[in-house]
């Protein structure tokens, strides 16, 4: 009986997959429905990393630039969306990823005039704060951890460990710096100077983003940008955050900006599961709905044939 259920389910998936391929893979396109004034909620959760929307299908806890930039573009294009709320819960991530998403936020504001508001969750630090600084207004909880304005490049020297276990490595390289950050040897002073220059350059860029977004003098930003983390309450006192409030406080305030009374209608971008990315959300729901229905019918039949011991 279980074998028959499994075979039926596999055949159903195979047939529907074939139908999808004939349709040209356009089942994942979302139809733009003209509705009242809506707020697009874009969630930035987990480490912020550069990558396309289809990269790392099972890395559901990563905020990829491909997904987030696509959602920002969709929010900009949708005429029913009048404002965007970024819900950020991230410890930070790649400088390049923050730069990519930040540029898209800025483009959305400049080209559409739609306001962008940030609501911070547990954490919105480092690259997470970079993106928050690109918005028009920032809400944080008193206990939110934010700030951590700064840049670093990690480096680990395992040379002594390798010696203890009898491993030695060498490289034939084309230039002096080709194996920079190699963990098999100490870093040279010239390498350290080169990397420090890169870190300083990216740090100045980060400071510039905060200075522009918060309308704060560069010198003041630098006095706060020593890498330390602030609570939401501290960040508000320092001018890094505008208001203390939770997600719904930020959502209601965003709705008020576009003339909505109370909590506004929301356009939510749901994170797709790996199989939804491959087949499309609507088709996936249909497939698994049919499988569930089939399994339920087969299970009921199986239960009727199975002896029960009931009181």
Structural domain contains residue 245: yes
Is 125 in the same domain as 264?
Answer: yes
Structural domain contains residue 218: no
User: Which residue, 216, 206, 46, is CA-closest to 131?
Assistant: 206
What are the tens digits of pLDDT across the range 146-171? 999 999 999 999 989 988 999 888 88
> What pLDDT is stored for residue 147 in this prediction?
98
Is 200 in the same domain as 238?
Answer: no
189-214 helix and 95-112 helix, angle to the nearest 10 degrees: 20
Is 79 in the same domain as 127?
Answer: yes
Is 127 in the same domain as 257?
Answer: yes
Is 287 in the same domain as 196?
Answer: no
Is 65 in the same domain as 201?
Answer: no
| DSSP code for 273 | P
69: burial class by Cβ within 10 Å (0-12, 13-18, 19+)? buried
SS3 at position 27: coil
Is 107 in the same domain as 243?
Answer: yes
Structural domain contains residue 22: no
Is 105 in the same domain as 51?
Answer: yes
> What pLDDT is stored for residue 261 in this prediction?
85
Structural domain contains residue 310: no
What is the band of 1 on the pLDDT scale with cuts at 50, 70, 90?
Answer: low
User: Which residue, 84, 96, 117, 116, is CA-closest to 47?
Assistant: 96
Is 69 in the same domain as 131?
Answer: yes
Supply the range of the domain harboring residue 291: 276-303
* Domain end among 213, 240, 257: 213
User: Which residue, 277, 299, 292, 303, is CA-closest to 55?
Assistant: 277
Average pLDDT of the segment spanning 98-122: 97
Count the domains in the chain: 3
**Higher pLDDT, residue 282 or 199:** 199
- Say if CB 53 and CB 277 are below 8 A apart: yes
Average pLDDT of the segment spanning 49-78: 81
Give the count of beta carbons closer than 10 Å to the beta carbon of residue 177.
13
What's CA 29's distance to the chain center, in Å? 20
Structural domain contains residue 244: yes
Is 46 in the same domain as 120?
Answer: yes
Average pLDDT of the segment spanning 4-12: 58
- Please determine, for residue 135, whether its predicted confidence score (pLDDT) is greater than 70: yes
Is 111 in the same domain as 256?
Answer: yes
- Please determine, for residue 54, whether its predicted confidence score (pLDDT) is greater than 60: no
178 is catalytic: yes
**Higher pLDDT, residue 176 or 6:** 176
Identify the active-site residue in 64, 90, 119, 126.
126
What are the tens digits of pLDDT across the range 229-281? 999 999 999 999 999 999 999 999 999 999 988 899 999 876 555 544 444 44
β-strand partners of 255: none
What is the band of 294 on the pLDDT scale with cuts at 50, 70, 90?
Answer: low
142 is catalytic: no
- Say if CB 194 and CB 169 are below 8 A apart: no
Average pLDDT of the segment spanning 30-49: 79
Identify the active-site residue in 178, 223, 271, 297.
178
- Gap between the Cα atoms of 238 and 214, Å rounded: 11
What are the tens digits of pLDDT across the range 165-190? 998 888 899 999 999 999 999 999 99
Structural domain contains residue 200: yes
Structural domain contains residue 15: no
Structural domain contains residue 238: yes
Is 209 in the same domain as 251?
Answer: no
């Amino acid at each position: 009986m279980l074998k028959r259920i499994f075979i039926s389910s596999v055949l159903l998936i195979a047939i529907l997959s074939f139908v999808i391929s004939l349709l040209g893979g356009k089942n994942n396109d979302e139809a733009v429905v003209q509705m009242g004034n809506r707020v697009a909620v874009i969630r930035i959760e987990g480490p912020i990393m550069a990558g396309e929307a289809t990269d790392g299908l099972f890395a559901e806890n990563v905020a990829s630039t491909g997904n987030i930039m696509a959602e920002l573009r969709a929010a900009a294009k949708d005429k029913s969306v009048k404002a965007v709320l970024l819900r950020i819960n991230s410890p930070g991530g790649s400088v390049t990823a923050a730069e990519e998403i930040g540029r898209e936020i800025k483009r959305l504001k400049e080209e559409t005039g739609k306001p962008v508001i940030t609501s911070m969750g547990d954490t919105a630090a480092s690259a997470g704060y970079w993106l928050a600084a690109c918005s028009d207004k920032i809400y944080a909880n008193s206990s939110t951890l934010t700030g951590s304005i700064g840049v670093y490049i990690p480096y680990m020297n395992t040379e002594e460990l390798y010696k203890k276990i009898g491993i030695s490595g060498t490289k034939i390289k084309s230039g002096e710096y080709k194996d920079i950050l190699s963990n098999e040897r100490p870093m040279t002073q010239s390498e350290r100077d080169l990397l420090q220059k890169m870190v300083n350059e990216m740090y100045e860029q980060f400071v510039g983003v905060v200075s522009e977004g918060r309308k704060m003098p560069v010198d003041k930003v630098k006095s706060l940008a020593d890498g330390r983390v602030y609570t939401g309450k501290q960040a508000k006192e320092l001018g890094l955050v505008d208001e203390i409030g939770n997600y719904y406080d930020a959502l209601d305030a965003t709705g008020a900006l576009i003339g909505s009374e109370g909590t506004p209608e929301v356009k939510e971008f749901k994170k797709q599961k790996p199989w939804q990315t491959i087949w499309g959300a609507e088709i996936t729901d249909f497939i698994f709905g049919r499988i569930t229905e089939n399994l339920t019918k087969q299970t009921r039949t199986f239960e009727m044939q199975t002896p029960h011991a009931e009181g």
